[in-house]
Each structure stands twice: as structure tokens, then as C-alpha cells.
Amino acid sequence: MVEDILKALGIQGEQSGVSTGAYWLPAHGAIITSVSPVDDKKIAAVKGASREDYDQVVATAQEAFKEWRHWPAPKRGEIVRQIGEALRQHKEHLGKLVSYEMGKSLQEGYGEVQEMIDICDFAVGLSRQLHGLTMHSERPGHRMYEQWHPLGITGIISAFNFPVAVWSWNSMLAWVCGNVCIWKPSEKTPVTALACQRIVDTVFAANKVPEGVCNLVIGDRDAGEWMSHDTRIPLVSATGSTRMGKAVGAAVGQRLGRSLLELGGNNAIIISQDADLDMSIIGAVFGAVGTAGQRCTSTRRLIIHESVYDAFTARLVKAYSQLRIGNPLDQHNHVGPLIDKAAVNAYLDSIEQVKAQGGSFLVEGGVLSGAGYESGCYVKPCIAAVENTYAIVQHETFAPILYVMKYKTLAEAIAMQNDVPQGLSSAIMTLNLREAEQFLSHAGSDCGIANVNIGTSGAEIGGAFGGEKETGGGRESGSDAWRAYMRRQTNTINYSTSLPLAQGIKFDF
């Protein structure tokens, strides 16, 4: 089956990991072998980029930008519309490949491709709305306005957990804004990147898009560092851990470039005494175990009112006992594997830290073995009773470990929710209007995303996505996130017969 998927997506044998859209260039770096966490089988071998390969791609991208920026934005939008149609045609195969290479459930794999389609639709409309403002001048016979211009090359560094969707969030907006893109995908999921590049190649070739508008550089950590330090790339959008983001932000900032950072989350749901517990269970369980806890928006903490704590945790334990863990391509399973053995070891280490710091487990964790679990990457989602102040709770654990704790007052709950270094997503489950509004107020959640009666995971592309504090402060996807990919220019036109100065300054001679 996997061979059929690869063939349908144009992937066979050893692949070059360097492309400028129109051409797949010979790669001279190390071979990266993609192995599925589902069954520990090799998917494909990809030849990574050398520094010389990377420099060739950047030079081609620079030349492409000179032409691409002159294409009218609606025409660029039409290209993106066709990409969306191509993704619709390949949704089944690409969704299965996402699931198999990354390990997320098949429904989530399909959902990730749907996100790509949705952002294409959004970007098409955006291509006719890249608007500035007009302002009244204090000087007679003058007109002031602002306009937005493309930046140039957008560098995109994406993470394994959303191997294609986050790339599309950036690239589709960057393209309609008139930028060209260079994508450095996670070395853990290179094959899905190859598939996306081939899909876009076909659309670009049919429309005679210049070589170098869509570029792919597959490589290890070095490739991301080349991009971060490269003054030819004005914007670097990076998704990953806070540690990685700090390194990227420092490198880009040192050269006074721009960075768009989407980093770690430590997301909490407050379960009020006025919550609909049936609804809350669904939101909490999906948020905690979806993608095996490997989403930046995964629910890490449940802050539960003391009056419903026992009843809710009992229902939670029962729900966990009904989870089906196994091959994510089987749609009956809820939870797939972690990405690799290193992730499994980090999961086990976190469990030991919970115990050492005084926590106890309502649902025990562990690694699964036996038939169907040969890859060694399948683990049990677990639930730990903890205090919010534990060092391990303050850390983002990228695994299906859910921390539960009690609160007495809403003010206490909000303080606990905010008392972590990260600030991505948050939620409250309550039917109490006052509680909901307090949670959303300036004195409420300090996260970039705050939901009421919705879990922390599963954002729509229409809203800007991103967070505060150690989450990086970036915004991607919807709303006015497009502005990050453009430069603002203020223009003043004098159509009078004199030259008055601003602020009434006189300069006569």
C-alpha cells in the first residue's frame, strides 16, 4: 500500500532533496532515510543538501523574485487556487503519507491536507485584499497613503508534527504577497515535503511560473542555521521547540532580519463547576491524546474546580480505558505512535520526573510491545495528579501525558493557567457567562489563543495562529497575518504649487 501511495505522488527510489520548482538539482549532502514510526519500515531515502546546493537555491530564488513580484497579486492568487485544486485531487494519498510518515491518525492526516486546501482558499481571496490605508495630510495639496510590498525570500523551517500544513500556511500567503519561498522541512518527515514539492511543481510548470519561486532544501540542523544567518533571506518563519526558536531568533535578530516564531505550548483547560462535563471530556481527551500529544496546541494541563474534580477525573479515567492505540492508518484507532525512539525516551523520562517531584498517576503510562507495536514507538497516554509548580509541569512535554490539578476560585485558576513560560493556547469549559468573559478579558488568559467551551487543539485557518511569551509571539494563517510577509511603505504626494514643510517649519532663503 505504501508503495502505491509513493508512486501516486511521484516518489520512487532515492530522491534528491533539493529543488527550485522547475528542476530537481543534484544533491551533495548526507542521505536522510525516512523510517515510519508506525512499523519501523523504510519509506524512502533522500539525498540532503550541501552548503553549495543551498547557495545555488538561494541565488535562483533571488532571480525568481525579480520577476514574480511583478505578477499581479490576483494572478498569483490564481496559481494558489490551482494548488488548492491539486491538493484536493491528492488529498487521500497525501493524507495517508502524512499519517504513515509522522504517525498521526488517518483522520488527522486527512485533516492536515484539508488545512492546506483551506489556506489556499483563504489566500486566493487575500490576493485581492492586500490593502493599505489613506491618511489626511496636515499640508494642503498633499495626499498620504501607505502600501505594502513583498519582502523577497521567505525562509520556512517546519516541524515534524505538522509536516505539510504549517509550510502551506506560510508559503501560500507569502506567494500571494509576491515573495518566493525556500522550505527546510523536518529531517524526520522529508518524504511528505517531496510530495508537496512535486504537486506544486506541476501547477507552476503549467502556468510558466519562474524557476525558483518554490524551493525545497532538505537537510539536517545545519540547513536551518544557514537560513537563519543568511542576510539574503529577510524573513525566516520557524516552527519547533522554544530552544530551537531562541537560536533562530538570535541569529536572525543579530543581522536585523525578521523572524516569525511558532514555538512550544503548555496549554491548559479550566474545567469550571459550571461546565458541561460531557462536552469537556471530549475536548480534554482529544486535546491530550490527539497526534499522541505531539501538537504545540495539545492539552497538557487540566485545571479542575475542586467541587467536580473527583467526578470529572473518574470520567476521564474511564475514557482513557476506551482509547484504541495502534496503526494510525486503521481509522478505528485513536492514538498512533510517537515520532521516534528519542521521543519515547523523553516520554519515559518525564514520567520518572513526575514521580520524583511528588506526582501520582491516575492512569499509568508505559511503552507498548507485542504484535502491532514492533516499532517501539507506541506508548500509553497517561494522567498524572500534580501541582502546577512542579518543574516538569512547567516544561512542555511533547507526549501524551496529561497533568490534572485542583482550583478553588476562578482567579486562582487563571493565575495557574498563566503561570507557565509558554503562552500558546488556552480554554475554559463553563456555562457561566461571567466566567467566560473574565477568562477572555485583559486580566484573563495571557495566551495567543483563548477558547470557551472548545478545547485547546484544532484551530481554524481564518484566525491568526500563534502565542505569547516563550511561544515566540508570531502569527500565521488567517486574519492579518499576511502583513508579516510584506514591508510597509508610507507615501506622500505633493500635487500643489508650493512646498510647505511638516509641523509648520519654515525654511526660507
Known catalytic residues are: 262
Which residues have a Cβ under 8 Å from the Cβ of 296 and sit 6 or more positions away? 161, 239, 262, 263, 264, 265, 424, 425, 471
* CA separation for the pair 332, 281 (Å, rounded): 19
Task: Cell 520556512: give the residue.
Answer: 156
* CA separation for the pair 148, 133 (Å, rounded): 10
**What single string gives the DSSP state of each residue in 24-38?**
BPPP-S-EEEEE-TT
Task: Cell 498524572: give the residue.
Answer: 384
Q: Are 300 and 382 in contact (CB under 8 A)?
A: no
* CA separation for the pair 260, 237 (Å, rounded): 4
* CA separation for the pair 356, 341 (Å, rounded): 23
Q: Are 361 and 382 in contact (CB under 8 A)?
A: yes
Least Cα distance to 258 among 186, 150, 360, 395 occurs for 150
Widest pairwise Cα distance in the chain? 92
CA-CA distances (angstroms) from residue 354 to 18, 302, 416, 489?
43, 15, 18, 52
Q: Are 19 and 181 in contact (CB under 8 A)?
A: no
Interior/surface letters 314-338, b for 16+ CB within 10 angstroms, e for the rest: ebbeebbeeeebbbbbeeebbbbbb
Is residue 385 exposed (0-12), middle (13-18) or buried (19+ Cβ within 10 Å)? middle
* CA separation for the pair 32, 14 (Å, rounded): 10
SS3 5: helix
User: 183 — phi, psi (to 5°)?
Assistant: -110, 125
